[in-house]
Structure 1
Amino acid sequence: MKKVFVISNMYPSKEHLAYGIFVKNQVEQLEQEGIDTVLAVNTNPATGKKNVILKYLKWAQQFMRVFRANKRNISLTHSHYVFPSGIFSYYLKKRHNIPYIVTAHGGDINKMAKKGGQIREFTEKILQSADHVIAVGEELGATIETTFHVENDKISVMSMGIDRTVFNKADDKKQHAKELGMDPDKTNFLFVGNIIREKGVTELVRAFNKVTESLPQQAALYCVGSTKDSNFTSKVKELARDNTAIHFIEPLPQQELARYFQAADVFVLPSYIEGLGLVALEAMSCGTPVIASDVGGLHYMLADGAGVLVPPKDEILLQLALENAVKDGIAVNEARVAELLHTHDAKNIIARLKELYTTHAK
């Protein structure tokens, strides 16, 4: 196999550390395992119709430059996100007979494809023409098979993997909390993700406000994530304005983020939709129990006592789950957690991915 051409509409930069960080992590892990890669990636998270058109035009130009420079050495393309990234892989297969693998991450199927029209049509074409499709979660894989009519044997359920050399348990959780300025005598809740409506941030802040009313001085909430919509973020911060126990933190490098996972007592992910919820696995890898919405991949991940599931958009039940965690802590099925961490260990994921590359490369 020569080179794998990795294509992604999300990829981090120095200015936007968390934007598609999981793609960068996987690329680096592949390189460490001897897989030579070339990239065509969008590092600009700007939104708004004009910004999106301009950034995707620039990305398309980058794609063509990289392809022309490496045309004879590309054995396979791997697109992250079915639409729009998969369009480039689809084009290269039709025009140059280059095979491709596409990874569906969740929003591309559960959100983008539901817009209908050409996006829906392109999504189905890309999935059906792919040599192999990777779904990051079980429910996502089932949707791809039944809704987009992709053969079961062409689909693998495989997360992006967690780097357990980075995300691991702390020797002393309370000491880590102190070092980060947390009060180790409180129950410290952590949220990590974009500050957007679909992550359930509004419900989280409202629920936590009620927790601090019913259990004063007993808990704190740390929200680590980037702003996508400044108006929405402002509204969320306004909800939290009078609560000094809520803290907002800008995106952090992976090593620093891992310290927050290690220090937190409970990780909370109240998303409306979630292909998998890799951050929940990162929390578990750091020994931190999880409360999350009963949606998508989280439904399967936290089953059998691996965590606590609550209905999405239900701030009352979310509040109760948070209060129970403060009062009694969270007991988890350690055997199930260990099984999950083994399955999603980046080393095992990369081994499976290398097998797919070898099978389908030109």
Structure 2
Amino acid sequence: MGDRKKIVFLARWYPHRYDSMYGLFIQRHAEAVSAFHDISVVYVHADENVKEKFEIERQYENNVDTIRIYYKKNNNKAINIIRFFRANRKALSLIDRIDIIHVHILTRLGVIALFEKKLHHIPYLITEHWSRYLPGNDFNGVIRKFVTRKVVKEAAMITTVTKNLGNAMKNHKLLNDNYKILPNVVDTNMFVPSKHDNKTVKIIHISCFENKSKNISGLLDALKIIKDSDIDFLCEMIGDGMDFEVMKEYCKQLGLNGNVIFKGLLEGNELASALSQGDFLVLSSNYENLPVVILEALSCGIPVVSTNVGGIHEVINNENGILVKPNDNRNLAEAIMTMMNKCHTYEPETLRAPILEHYSTTKVGLLLFHYYNEIKS
């Protein structure tokens, strides 16, 4: 497939010593394309426990050269920003050769990439994952917008995981002639259908338990409506986060403890097993981009009920699930009850087929390979 290029990921989110799930989708992109190009990842993290200004970790993880730098967190925001930039520059100096820089999440890392382009003539592309450009979110500030527009304009390519996010960026005048789609990666060897015969319908919810965006309280309210209709069900709530304990207490107040189980954080095979044993997935987010868990559910052969936010409508339709308006608990409850009656009519392999075609490790890795080869270095 031609010469292997040296690609450096500058990642704003990436799994680290305190959170193995943080930016996992970026790690999967790196691993997917590592079969075709040589990949190094740079991730910088503020850490109040670091004794020195910088603590460097470097190791190979699934064929990816991974450099993590933890810098001593300061109470002064300006000092933290300076240390963030210095740490990223220090990491780049450890890499012998760089053909292309791949920025994951703007804006600060884009500034570094732009600097490298101007100083060393290294081209860069940007993949944006953040939903902050969507309506109602916090892409504000004159300086931030000016800098981001400059960084985006100078990039060789902009990729997003959904058309919806790309359009939202363009609406903010983040203009570039080369916008493309880069799907998230699904481990289709791990997330596979499994035979199960649940006597009670088992609903699965997976999120980071941040109620402002994920609206777990709204889902619990919808489940309360279903319970009050004398319909039996079991809902497994998987994940952890800032509002985990608050949601457990709210569930108790609603009298749902007999129907809702909080499983906590599950990873890898444990997560895949729990998902494949469910009858369908439910998400109730107020805003999203395109959650990987939706793709993983379909890969497991189970349908999805979700609020129609972000780019979710680009994947979920009448053939594989039900979409509902956000912030409408009764509508959500009705959709869940409808799915309880029809979830067993879906063919798992039919739900899984598009995931194999577009989101597998090999397919996304090949797509990235071709994107990199379009860029002159």
Q: Give the shorter-chain TM-score range.
A: 0.7 to 0.9
Query: Which residue in 2 is equivalent to 1:41?
Result: 43
Q: Spell out the pairing of 1:120-139 with structure 2 (5 A cutoff).
A: 120-139=145-164
Q: Any idea what SS the aligned residue of 1:296 has?
A: coil
Distance of 1:45 and 1:342 partners within structure 2: 40
Distance of 2:310 and 2:163 partners within structure 1: 8
Query: Which residue in 1 is equivalent to 2:223?
Result: 208
Query: Which residue in 2 is equivalent to 1:190?
Result: 204
Pairing 1:87–2:111 present: yes
Q: Any idea what SS the aligned residue of 2:281 has?
A: strand
- Does the CA contact (< 8 Å) of 1:102 and 1:133 recur in 2? yes
Pairing 1:62–2:87 present: yes
Query: Which residue in 1 is equivalent to 2:237?
Result: 223
Q: Any idea what SS the aligned residue of 2:290 has?
A: coil
Query: Which residue in 1 is equivalent to 2:368?
Result: 353
Larger relative contact order (Cα-Cα within 8 Å, sequence gap ≥ 6): 1
Query: Which residue in 1 is equivalent to 2:251?
Result: 240
1:22 partner letter: F
1:55 Cα deviation after fit:
6.7
Give the structure with the higher percent helix.
1
Query: Which residue in 1 is equivalent to 2:68?
Result: none
Query: Which residue in 2 is equivalent to 1:12?
Result: 15
- Does the CA contact (< 8 Å) of 2:235 and 2:261 recur in 1? yes
Query: Which residue in 2 is equivalent to 1:76?
Result: 100
- 1:287-306 CA-to-partner distances (Å, cap 9, x unmatched) read 11100111121112113523
Query: Which residue in 1 is equivalent to 2:175?
Result: 150
1:361 Cα deviation after fit:
4.9
- 1:205-263 CA-to-partner distances (Å, cap 9, x unmatched) read 111122222235x2122222231x3xx44432221123222222332222221111111
- Does the CA contact (< 8 Å) of 1:160 and 1:346 recur in 2? no
Query: Which residue in 1 is equivalent to 2:70?
Result: none
Query: Which residue in 2 is equivalent to 1:177?
Result: none
My pick for the range that moved more, 196-205 or 87-96, is 87-96
- 1:308-355 CA-to-partner distances (Å, cap 9, x unmatched) read 101111111111111222234365587576235412222111101011
Q: Any idea what SS the aligned residue of 1:222 has?
A: strand
Aligned length: 344
1:16 Cα deviation after fit:
1.4
2:121 to 97, 113, 134: 97
1:142 Cα deviation after fit:
2.1
Tell me how large the CA RMSD over aligned residues is: 2.8
Q: Any idea what SS the aligned residue of 1:74 has?
A: coil
Distance change (3 Å), C-alpha of 1:167 and 1:58: farther
Query: Which residue in 1 is equivalent to 2:343?
Result: 329
1:200 Cα deviation after fit:
1.9
Distance change (3 Å), C-alpha of 1:40 and 1:319: same
My pick for the range that moved more, 340-349 or 317-326, is 340-349
1:239 partner letter: Y
1:173 partner letter: H
2:43 partner letter: V
1:30 Cα deviation after fit:
2.3
1:35 partner letter: H
Q: Any idea what SS the aligned residue of 2:126 has?
A: strand
- 1:67-86 CA-to-partner distances (Å, cap 9, x unmatched) read 1122x501111111123432
> Under a length normalisation based on structure 1, what TM-score does the superposition of the two structures give?
0.85
- 1:19-40 CA-to-partner distances (Å, cap 9, x unmatched) read 1111112222222x14212222
My pick for the range that moved more, 288-297 or 218-227, is 218-227
Q: Any idea what SS the aligned residue of 1:73 has?
A: coil
2:287 to 257, 273, 281: 273
- Does the CA contact (< 8 Å) of 1:2 and 1:36 recur in 2? yes
1:201 partner letter: I
Pairing 1:256–2:258 present: no
- 1:112-131 CA-to-partner distances (Å, cap 9, x unmatched) read 66223322223222221111
- Does the CA contact (< 8 Å) of 1:134 and 1:157 recur in 2? yes
Distance change (3 Å), C-alpha of 1:287 and 1:8: same
- Does the CA contact (< 8 Å) of 1:38 and 1:66 recur in 2? no
Distance change (3 Å), C-alpha of 1:133 and 1:259: same
1:40 partner letter: V
1:62 Cα deviation after fit:
2.9
1:279 partner letter: V
- Does the CA contact (< 8 Å) of 2:287 and 2:309 recur in 1? yes
1:203 Cα deviation after fit:
0.7
Distance of 2:193 and 2:8 partners within structure 1: 35
Percentage of matched positions with identical amino acids:
22
2:116 partner letter: L
Distance change (3 Å), C-alpha of 1:52 and 1:102: farther
- Does the CA contact (< 8 Å) of 1:221 and 1:247 recur in 2? yes
Q: Any idea what SS the aligned residue of 2:311 has?
A: helix
- Does the CA contact (< 8 Å) of 1:294 and 1:311 recur in 2? yes
Q: Which has the larger radius of gyration?
A: 2
Q: Any idea what SS the aligned residue of 1:207 has?
A: helix
1:82 partner letter: L
